[in-house]
Chains A and B, each alone.
Chain A
Amino acid sequence: MSEISSKAIDASPHHDDPAHQEEPDHSLPSELRTFVSRPGPQSILVRGPPGSGKTTLALGLLGAFSGSRILITNRVGQAELQRDFRWLHIGPAGSIQVVDAENRTRGLAQAVSASHALPKVLSQAGSDDVAGFLWLPEPVQAAYASIDPHRPGMVVIDSWDALVEDFMASGPSGQRGVPDREEVERLLLSYMRRSDVTLVLILERDVQSQLDYLVNAVVSTDRKTVDGRLERWLYLHKLRGQRIETPGYPFSLEGSRFESVAPFHYGSVVTGGPRPSSWGGEPRPKDLAGRVWPGCTDFALAFGVFQAGTTTVVETDSEVPYPIIQMLVEPAAVQTLSAGGHVLLIPPPGIRPLDLWQLFRTKFAAEKLAAQLRIFSVAGAEGVPQEAQPVMLPLPPGSGSRTDPIFHTAFEFVREGGPADVPNVIVRTTGGERALAQMLGLPVSPENFATVAAAYVANLRSHQIVVGNSGDPLLMALNDLGSLHLQLRARQGRYFLNGIRPFTPSYVVIEGNRLCPYRLLRMV
């Protein structure tokens, strides 16, 4: 596998790529986007352990909000915000008002003194309103004053824990007439509800409190390590008045942005439905001698490009449907066919060869496919139209017959290849080979599977991708052979891809664009 840097790849990263710019902003879960777009007042509680992405989520909410926006922060200074979250437009040309709560000096003790001083200033009538307001931390008062009552607004308090605990610390809480934290929280919500305001409260721990019952929405963020790789998840616990379709969303903080991942609708992308005819893989870098461009920049940046004469092992769990695997390998096959190389596919038994042929037929002439593509499957060539017949490697009639001629044909097809400088691509599945071997009465063992795998790439003009379930002995037999070992896992409708060898972070497969059917979002 060859390392490749972003500078070495002609194709630009997503955010500068016009094809990517056409994509709608799905950074926030759709349920949350809809919720915050509803008329206020609304209140959202965001809770989670430190470092789990709460601040970036809250900034994402601010960024997506179109009314007036106020951020009360005692965790991240304005300079840091400007530096780390440029997309948020905090600064001279910005539109987000930042209330820096770090150097506050006023606490509950001062509020108690002020409440005692109330009669010196205010007559009894109408003083309750001011009296209640006194119990709010000063940054909250400042934000309240900044709200235009005639315009929708959003106020984010990051973090409410730190703010209220600091406020309460000066005591004397618990005395008669002095509110406790819960009462301060009731007052906060009560005052903020006077305007069309969406209040976002960040709590630095993921524990339930009375706020869970008082607010309109509760979400939490979590950060965990799976096999040494970071995963972040956002959970939607409550969105009052809004149906929660998907309670859990993995998300990334790549580029200091909150980007959540919706369930992958592979059905509409790969197995029929509207499928852009222009998918052909992103443009290949110019100098690719002896290497196979994987077709998508994201893949190349994550794992490098495929090297001729080597094998890539892709282990999947049983919940990963083949169309996802097909989607990942298709761009490399398309690139190879475009460049004149040969492609050999051995799909699992449940996949119809005709369907695969039709996928490629949307991009290439039947004659080109007849010359450069072969599909080897137990399904054989039955019901296949005439123009697709040359692509299919037909099995001899009846079972139990020797198959040397068929395998020989496959080997010869790969060996011939295309132009000398264009490697071929072989995509094998352990399921497909087992089915073939069973039908043909051939023995299949890890040893001979590895031998065949080695033979396929022995001429150094091919790159082989072998796909199988985790723990499959056939796949494990390739441990010494696989120069790149990938793992593809299904989790709640999302697909996580990572390198086992070499070790890489997790990437989530997300929907692509007209150039590539998928994108990889790095979990950071």
Chain B
Amino acid sequence: MAQQTKTPGAGPSRPSDAVAVGVAVRDPSVEEVLLALLRLNRMQVQELGRPLHQIEVGPPVGRVAVVVGYVSSAADAEYFDGVLRRMGDPPSMALIHRDTDPAVVKRVKKRATRVLRLPEQAQAIADAIRDQLAGAPVASRRPSKSPVPGSSEPR
């Protein structure tokens, strides 16, 4: 579970950068890895209630910039899909394990704004999330395109 970081009011941080990231990961150990990776890349994480986390310090925000999911099974995909629906289909990024059933992969690629095949280098994952945070429109999914095989696949 993510650590709650309390930052009352204006601090040394950049409140205007505050955005929320949903982490739709069923496996707590993988969630742990993802959160560590974000923090190691100087992205602050606040728990706003599972599966929502806020990245960067600032007052809690109501908007979700991106939902990051981890998919290695049909159950994961189901969970990811449920979270997206519950949150009003915000932009999303699916981290798909390489051993995942192709049918599940196909389903996820249709659903996610962007996909990333795992395992991947830590920096690449952090950069992808950063890019997504920087560029993703809030709460509106872009039209689907065919995914490009590889490590990072914008759609």
Does B40 sit at the interface, judged by CB under 8 A? yes
* Interface residue from B35, B38, B45, B97 paired with A120 (Cβ < 8 Å): B97
Do A147 and B32 touch (CB < 8 A)?
no
Q: In chain B, residues 53-79, which have Cβ atoms closer than 8 Å to a Cβ of chain A? A: 57, 70, 72
Do A126 and B123 touch (CB < 8 A)?
yes
Chain B residues with Cβ below 8 Å from A113 are 28-29, 32
Does A148 sit at the interface, judged by CB under 8 A? yes
Q: In chain A, residues 77-101, which have Cβ atoms closer than 8 Å to a Cβ of chain B? A: 78, 90-101
Contact flags A102-128 to B (C-beta < 8 A → 1, else 0)? 011110001101101111111111110
Does B101 sit at the interface, judged by CB under 8 A? no
Does B132 sit at the interface, judged by CB under 8 A? no
Chain B residues with Cβ below 8 Å from A121 are 30, 33-34, 37, 70, 95, 118-120, 125
Chain B residues with Cβ below 8 Å from A78 are 6, 8
Bound CA span A141–B36, Å:
7
Do B11 and A94 touch (CB < 8 A)?
yes
* Interface residue from B9, B27, B97 paired with A93 (Cβ < 8 Å): B9
Chain B residues with Cβ below 8 Å from A151 are 12
* A149 and B121 in contact, given A106-B3, A111-B32 (Cβ under 8 angstroms): no
Does B4 sit at the interface, judged by CB under 8 A? yes
Does A519 sit at the interface, judged by CB under 8 A? no
Do A134 and B36 touch (CB < 8 A)?
yes
Bound CA span A149–B42, Å:
8
Does A47 sit at the interface, judged by CB under 8 A? no
Q: In chain A, residues 48-92, which have Cβ atoms closer than 8 Å to a Cβ of chain B? A: 68-69, 78, 90-92
* Interface residue from B9, B28, B70, B122 paired with A127 (Cβ < 8 Å): B122
- Return B23 CB to nearest CB of chain A, in Å: 12
Do A99 and B6 touch (CB < 8 A)?
yes
Do B119 and A119 touch (CB < 8 A)?
yes
Do B42 and A145 touch (CB < 8 A)?
yes
- Return B108 CB to nearest CB of chain A, in Å: 16
Bound CA span A401–B45, Å:
90
Chain A residues with Cβ below 8 Å from B28 are 110, 113
Do B6 and A145 touch (CB < 8 A)?
no
Chain B residues with Cβ below 8 Å from A124 are 119
* A147 and B42 in contact, given A97-B5, A125-B121, A126-B121 (Cβ under 8 angstroms): yes
Does B113 sit at the interface, judged by CB under 8 A? no
Do A117 and B1 touch (CB < 8 A)?
no
Does A142 sit at the interface, judged by CB under 8 A? yes
Chain B residues with Cβ below 8 Å from A96 are 11
Does A129 sit at the interface, judged by CB under 8 A? yes
Bound CA span A124–B27, Å:
20
Bound CA span A139–B5, Å:
8
Does A31 sit at the interface, judged by CB under 8 A? no
Does A146 sit at the interface, judged by CB under 8 A? yes
Does B48 sit at the interface, judged by CB under 8 A? no
Does A458 sit at the interface, judged by CB under 8 A? no
Does B140 sit at the interface, judged by CB under 8 A? no
Please, which residue of chain A has its CB at the minimum distance from the CB of B118? A121
* A129 and B4 in contact, given A96-B11, A97-B57, A146-B57 (Cβ under 8 angstroms): no
Do B57 and A114 touch (CB < 8 A)?
no
Do B12 and A97 touch (CB < 8 A)?
yes
Bound CA span A119–B72, Å:
13
Bound CA span A105–B5, Å:
14
Please, which residue of chain A has its CB at the minimum distance from the CB of B120? A123
Does A138 sit at the interface, judged by CB under 8 A? yes
Bound CA span A77–B45, Å:
20
Chain A residues with Cβ below 8 Å from B29 are 110, 113-114, 116-117
Does B144 sit at the interface, judged by CB under 8 A? no
Bound CA span A94–B7, Å:
9
Do B122 and A122 touch (CB < 8 A)?
yes
Does A214 sit at the interface, judged by CB under 8 A? no
Chain B residues with Cβ below 8 Å from A303 are none
* A97 and B33 in contact, given A126-B121, A146-B57 (Cβ under 8 angstroms): no
Do B121 and A99 touch (CB < 8 A)?
no
Does B92 sit at the interface, judged by CB under 8 A? no
Q: In chain A, residues 387-401, which have Cβ atoms closer than 8 Å to a Cβ of chain B? A: none
Does A357 sit at the interface, judged by CB under 8 A? no
Does B39 sit at the interface, judged by CB under 8 A? yes
Q: In chain B, residues 92-128, which have Cβ atoms closer than 8 Å to a Cβ of chain A? A: 95, 97, 118-123, 125
Please, which residue of chain B has its CB at the minimum distance from the CB of A106? B1
- Return B63 CB to nearest CB of chain A, in Å: 21
Which of B11, B41, B57, B123 has most chain A Cβ within 10 Å? B11
Bound CA span A17–B112, Å:
65
Do B32 and A100 touch (CB < 8 A)?
no
Q: In chain B, residues 12-53, which have Cβ atoms closer than 8 Å to a Cβ of chain A? A: 12-13, 27-30, 32-45
* Interface residue from A97, A123, A144 paired with B11 (Cβ < 8 Å): A97
Bound CA span A213–B6, Å:
33
Do A100 and B6 touch (CB < 8 A)?
yes
Does A133 sit at the interface, judged by CB under 8 A? yes
Chain A residues with Cβ below 8 Å from B95 are 121
Contact flags A148-166 to B (C-beta < 8 A → 1, else 0)? 1101010000000000000
Chain B residues with Cβ below 8 Å from A120 are 27, 30, 33, 72, 97, 118-119
- Return B39 CB to nearest CB of chain A, in Å: 4
* Interface residue from A91, A106, A123 paired with B121 (Cβ < 8 Å): A123
Do B9 and A130 touch (CB < 8 A)?
no
Do A126 and B97 touch (CB < 8 A)?
no
B residues touching A (Cβ–Cβ < 8 Å)?
1-13, 27-30, 32-45, 57, 70, 72, 95, 97, 118-123, 125
- 16 cross-chain CB contacts under 8 A: A97-B6, A97-B7, A99-B3, A104-B3, A106-B32, A113-B32, A114-B36, A117-B27, A120-B97, A121-B119, A121-B125, A122-B122, A138-B2, A145-B43, A146-B13, A149-B42
Besides A92-B9, A129-B40, 9 other CB < 8 A contacts?
A: A90-B8, A97-B6, A114-B29, A114-B30, A119-B119, A120-B118, A122-B125, A123-B119, A142-B44
Closest 3 CB pairs of A and B: A114-B32, A68-B12, A117-B29
A residues touching B (Cβ–Cβ < 8 Å)?
68-69, 78, 90-101, 103-106, 110-111, 113-114, 116-127, 129-130, 133-134, 138-139, 141-142, 144-149, 151, 153
